[in-house]
Amino acid sequence: MNTYSPFHNWLNLEDVWQTTDSQIIIYLTLSVVLLSIAKLINDWISPYNLNEQLTTRDNKAIALAFAGYLISIVIIIHSVLSASASKGLWADIIDTSLWSLVGIALLQVSRFVNNKWLLHKFDVWKELLTDKNLGAGAIQCGAYIGSAFMIKAALYGDVETTFLISFIAALVYFAIGQIAFILLSILYQRVSAFDLHKEIENDNIAVGVGFGMTLIATGILLSGYLMKYDSFLGLALWFIFGAFLLIVGRYLIDKIILPKASLDAEISEDRNWGAALIEGCGAIGLALILTALLG
């Protein structure tokens, strides 16, 4: 008679002792170093001093944007560390460092692209630094995280291919993701009853929260497809399908969760960031469900 019971694992310490493995300490140290490098790169490229903005000026818009940047770096490093194939400790350390740095560089490119095209009707840095615009900070935060998911998918390739081929493939997938963000911003503007740029320039944090979280949902939606399939045509159709469902989901939130109020009115007129948070969570939840349903 089989007397095996799952309860005997409850007091098992074997898995805990594995966390003291020297390789884990090495990779943890490497991750801290990569985070520090990412912070230094951001300091070098950005037109502000992070310490001054966060402490002296108490700029919460910059804090929001930088928090998104940090989360994005962690998503990228996590994706690289999660690669299943191993080539040996030192080869893995080199690969992890190299691909993490590629991911960090792509994230900086995404910031430039998103600032230039997602919010192209005004100066993003003026909104963040001078006006301390939390709406602009929320969008940059969402754009960072959404881009990080796309970069995660871009770096998720065939470990047997050469670095050059993998690098070119990563650039192509990354470019597709940035184009998708731009298309989504156009679509979001079309289906919304308010002017996205005007509302953000008027310091409407609710609009920034809603749109920023929708960007995260888009990143999750597209990266989920790219990590399973290679077809660009299939990706285009998946984007159309996913964007349609995101719009439908936004409509359902308006009619079911907030039946006695207009979602657009709550966000644009009342500046209700709570309603925007519900909209964004609905979009992210739908994206997660859709990616789970991919074959």
Q: How many Å separate Cα 92 from the centre of its chain?
A: 25
Q: What is the pTM of this model?
A: 0.89
Residue among 201, 210, 80, 209 at smallest CA distance from 151: 80
3-class DSSP assignment, residue 213: helix
pLDDT at 2 over 60: no
Give me the residue spans of the domains in the chain: 21-293
Residue range 40-51: average pLDDT?
90
Q: In angstroms, rounded to a whole number, what is the distance separating the alpha carbons of residues 269 and 277?
A: 16
Rounded average pLDDT over 259-268: 86
DSSP state of 21: -
Structure tokens at 58: 């108490």
The Cα diameter of the chain in Å comes to: 74
Condensed to tens digits (0 to 9), the pLDDT of residues 155-185 reads 775 555 677 877 887 888 888 888 888 888 8
**Where residue 33 falls among pLDDT bands split at 50, 70, 90?**
very high
- Residues 184, 214: contact at Cβ < 8 Å? yes
Task: Decide: residue 293, CB within 10 A, 0-12 exposed, 13-18 middle, 19+ buried.
Answer: exposed
pLDDT tens-place string over residues 50-106: 999 999 999 999 999 999 999 999 998 988 887 655 667 777 888 888 888 988 998
Do residues 48 and 129 lie in contact, with contact meaning Cβ atoms separated by under 8 Å? Answer: yes
